[in-house]
Amino acid sequence: MEWFSTDTPLTHSEVLLTRPIPPEKVLKNLDITIGQMWFDGVTSIVDPRFNNGTERFPLWVLSLWREMQKTIEHQELWKSSIR
């Protein structure tokens, strides 16, 4: 899968603060496959949407993206309730 790599995660995760998170469907697929990928020796996550997929991030980035997705969903609910 293009989102995982066996390369060492060397890209500073701070760059993710300026980027959109992957779509929800992609996050669900990553959640489904990460367990087996980890057993297969994967050590980093790649975001192929940026820099030709050359950056490598720590695996915990998937948890960050999932939490951000939840936050976005909650913000949408808050916005609609305020309106």
C-alpha–C-alpha distance, residues 9 and 19, integer Å: 18
pLDDT digits (tens, 9 = 90+) for 49-59: 999 999 999 99
Residue 44 dihedral angles phi and psi, to the nearest 5°: -155, 165
- Which 3-state string (H, E, C) describes the chain? CCCEECCCCCCCHHHHHHCCCCCHHHHHHHHHHHHHHHHCCCCEECCCCCHHHCCCECCCHHHHHHHHHHHHHHHHHHHHHHC
Tens digits of residue pLDDT in 10-53 = 999 999 999 999 999 999 999 999 999 999 999 999 999 999 99
How long is the chain? 83
- In the chain, where the domains are located: 4-78
Model-level pTM?
0.85
- Confidence grade of residue 77 (pLDDT, cut at 50, 70, 90): confident
